[in-house]
Amino acid sequence: MEANVAIVVIWLFLFLYALGGAIDFGAGFWSMFYFGRKDTTAASIANLYLNPSWKVTNVFLVLFVVALVGFFPHAAFALGSFMIVPVSFVLILLIIRSAFMVYSYSVQKYTKLFTYISGITGLLIPALMLSILPIIIGGFVEIVGGNHYILYDRLLSSPTLYAHIGFGLAAELFLSSLFLSDYAREAKAMETYEVYRKNAIILGPIMLSMAVAATMTLMPEAMWMVENMARQWHLFALSLVVFSIGYSALWWPSKKGRVGQPRVAVLFMVAQIGLASFAYGWAHMPYIVYPDLTIYEAVTNKQMYLSLLWGYAIGMAILVPLFYWFWRLFLKDKRYLTDKKVDDVR
């Protein structure tokens, strides 16, 4: 019971970070991709979003990690032994990305170089994070004398690794384009809206097919997972329907002049990712690391579980109004979205 509630909380935090992180790193990439282009404001729109929000997004990552080891302390030894390598690479990319993103605003002379460094390192982060999934699912970890080791030869020669990486890239770029198209429209930058809308239209089906590819290539490696996923077929089917509706919203007529209702599309995609990731997580149960560590073995004691739950509940109750205010100030307020002077305060 405790383990089940705890894993749902963890899933919720992971879901929030997956969305926030995908949009954040994706926006960093677009800010690089459209760097210096005179014909579109796509880069400034991306920066307008990134400036106030990257720190907040990063806290969600910390939240996820802290909640994971807080609720499941007995997973630490297993995770600590084979996650070091992939996670350390993520951390290295993360510090380079954040530092150079901030520096690019301060050093005009090297803005271009720094934007490229942060754009590319950021692009790779979600891809690398997703590459951790197939490792946890099994087939690539060997246990010798109680220690877990990653079988690099097998991992690196397995198509599922690359399918997962591809899915990470596609999801990041698709979600950020979609979100930025809505953001651009909120800022009344209609040309930019078109740019991001077009990106989203191209990337949506790519993301979907990468997801299918990632699942298919899993078969030889972790058949148990694929079978469990097949048992969740109704949730996956529902998520497909939701995806289609959201995707079609990019062509719905709108009163705001241009075709498409990006807000509707964003909301449906959030629901779609939620459904699909929940179904995926459910299929993963009860294992944290297949086949030798389940959530029931890893969970903390009852007292700590209860006090953590209270801690998160009270903390969130205080934060939600603050998040709402933040959203009003930076994602809705016309004075911010159209302020040309924003550049010089940062």
Partner 1 sequence: MDNVLLARMLFGSSLIFHIIFATLGVGLTLMILIAEILRVVRKDNDYGILAKRWTKAVAILLGVAIPSGTIVAVMLALLWPGLIEVVGQVIALPFTLEIFAFFFEALFLSIYVYAASRLSSTMRIISVFFVALGATASAVLITNVQSWMNTPTGFSIVNGDITDVRPWEAVLNPAFGYTAIHVASSAYTATAFVVASYAAYQLLKPNLKQSEKTYHRKGLMMALIFGAITSLWTATNGHHSAVGLHHNVPVKLAAAEGLFETQSNAPLSIFGTPDPEANRVVGGIEVPGMLSYLATGSTDGVVVGLNEYPRDEWPPLFVHTLFNIMVGIGSALIALSFGALAYRIFFKKREYPNWVLIPLVASGPLAMLGIETGWIFACIGRQPWTIYGIQRTAEAATKSANLGTFFVIFISLYGFLLVVTALVMRYYFRRNPLIKEFENQTTTV
Site for ligand HEM in 163-192 (CB under 6 A): none
Q: Give the CA distances from residue 122 to residues 22, 47, 110, 311, in Å, rounded to whole numbers and listed in that order.
A: 10, 14, 18, 32
Helix crossing, 159-186 with 262-284: angle to 10°? 150
Q: Which of 2, 16, 40, 58 binds ligand HEM (CB under 6 A)?
A: 58
Residues 121 and 92: their CA atoms lie apart, in Å, by: 9
Total chain residues near ligand HEM (CB under 6 A) = 4
Cβ 289 vs Cβ 75: under 8 Å: yes
Tell me: does residue 107 bind ligand HEM (CB under 6 A).
Answer: no
Tell me: does residue 87 bind partner 1 (CB under 8 A).
Answer: yes
Residue 147 interacting entry, from ligand HEM, partner 1, none, C-beta within 5 to 8 Å by type: partner 1
Tell me: does residue 107 bind partner 1 (CB under 8 A).
Answer: yes
Tell me: does residue 241 bind ligand HEM (CB under 6 A).
Answer: no
Q: Which is nearer to ligand HEM, 8 or 65 (CB)?
A: 65
Residues 170 and 174: their CA atoms lie apart, in Å, by: 6
Tell me: does residue 113 bind partner 1 (CB under 8 A).
Answer: no
Sketch the per residue contact string, 290 through 319, with partner 1: x for CB under 8 A, - otherwise.
Answer: ----------xx-xx--xx--xx--x--xx
Q: Which of residues 140-159 bind partner 1 (CB under 8 A)?
A: 146-147, 149
Residues 58 and 60: their CA atoms lie apart, in Å, by: 5
Q: Which of 5, 8, 37, 85 binds partner 1 (CB under 8 A)?
A: 85
Shortest distance, position 322 Cβ to partner 1, whole Å? 6
Residues 10 and 176: their CA atoms lie apart, in Å, by: 23
Helix (H, G, I), strand (E, B) or coil at 258: coil
Cβ 90 vs Cβ 65: under 8 Å: no
Q: Which of 5, 37, 55, 325 binds ligand HEM (CB under 6 A)?
A: 55
Tell me: does residue 319 bind ligand HEM (CB under 6 A).
Answer: no
Residues 167 and 164: their CA atoms lie apart, in Å, by: 5
In this structure, the strands spanning 141-144 and 287-289 are: unpaired
Residue 234 interacting entry, from ligand HEM, partner 1, none, C-beta within 5 to 8 Å by type: none
Q: Which is nearer to partner 1, 1 or 322 (CB)?
A: 322
Q: Which is nearer to ligand HEM, 205 or 311 (CB)?
A: 311
Shortest distance, position 118 Cβ to partner 1, whole Å? 10
In this structure, the strands spanning 141-144 and 293-294 are: unpaired
Tell me: does residue 336 bind partner 1 (CB under 8 A).
Answer: yes
Q: Which stretch binds ligand HEM (CB under 6 A): 45-53, 54-62, 136-144, 235-243?
A: 54-62
Tell me: does residue 8 bind partner 1 (CB under 8 A).
Answer: no
Tell me: does residue 62 bind ligand HEM (CB under 6 A).
Answer: yes
Q: Which residues contact 281 (CB under 8 A, 6 or more apart)?
A: 7, 11
Cβ 214 vs Cβ 160: under 8 Å: yes
Residues 285 and 101: their CA atoms lie apart, in Å, by: 38
**The tokens 């992971």 sit on which residue?**
14
Q: Which is nearer to ligand HEM, 66 or 85 (CB)?
A: 66
Tell me: does residue 321 bind partner 1 (CB under 8 A).
Answer: no
Phi, psi (deg, nearest 5) at residue 299: -70, 155
Q: Which of residues 43-82 bind partner 1 (CB under 8 A)?
A: 51-53, 55-56, 58-59, 61-63, 65-74, 76-77, 79-82
Residues 32 and 176: their CA atoms lie apart, in Å, by: 13
- State the DSSP H helix or E strand holding residue 178, giving kind and residue range, or none if neither: helix 159-186
Q: Which residues bind ligand HEM (CB under 6 A)?
A: 55, 58-59, 62
